[in-house]
Amino acid sequence: MASDSTSPPTEIHYRFIPQENGVTLELWEPVPLAARSLKPYRFCLRYDLASRQAAYQTLEQYLTANPYTQARRNPAGLTPTNWEDLPALTYV
């Protein structure tokens, strides 16, 4: 089945970024190439967490609570643009 803007999401991308005081978890749902307009994602989230374990737990909870069938880890160079537009959510 072809993916379009009305299809349920199946894939989320994520990455962990080590920080001085913990780890940042970034999550985003990519938009299929055919449906892209200005940004290559439907939404993106950034969580600042106290530890790597907390970041993994947050990712696991997010995946359990949402209908994704695949989570794809992305290296530093493969993230959406304009992250600076996102507010950080800090959890301890």
Query: Does a structural domain hold residue 3?
Result: no
Query: Does a structural domain hold residue 26?
Result: yes
pLDDT for 29 equals: 86
* Of residues 30 and 78, more confidently modeled: 30
Query: Does a structural domain hold residue 30?
Result: yes
Query: Does a structural domain hold residue 16?
Result: yes
Query: Does a structural domain hold residue 60?
Result: yes
pLDDT for 1 equals: 40
Find how far residue 38's CA is from the centre of its chain. 18
Query: Does a structural domain hold residue 4?
Result: no
pLDDT for 76 equals: 57
* Of residues 90 and 19, more confidently modeled: 19
User: For 15-72, how does the pLDDT look when each residue is reduced to its tens digit (9 = 90+)?
Assistant: 998 899 999 999 988 877 665 566 667 788 999 999 989 999 999 999 889 888 788 8
Range of the domain at 33: 11-90
Residues 6+ positions from 29 with CB-CB distance below 8 Å: 9, 11, 12, 13, 41, 42, 43, 44
pTM for the model stands at: 0.67
Query: Does a structural domain hold residue 15?
Result: yes
pLDDT for 82 equals: 45
Query: Does a structural domain hold residue 53?
Result: yes
Q: How many domains does the chain have?
A: 1
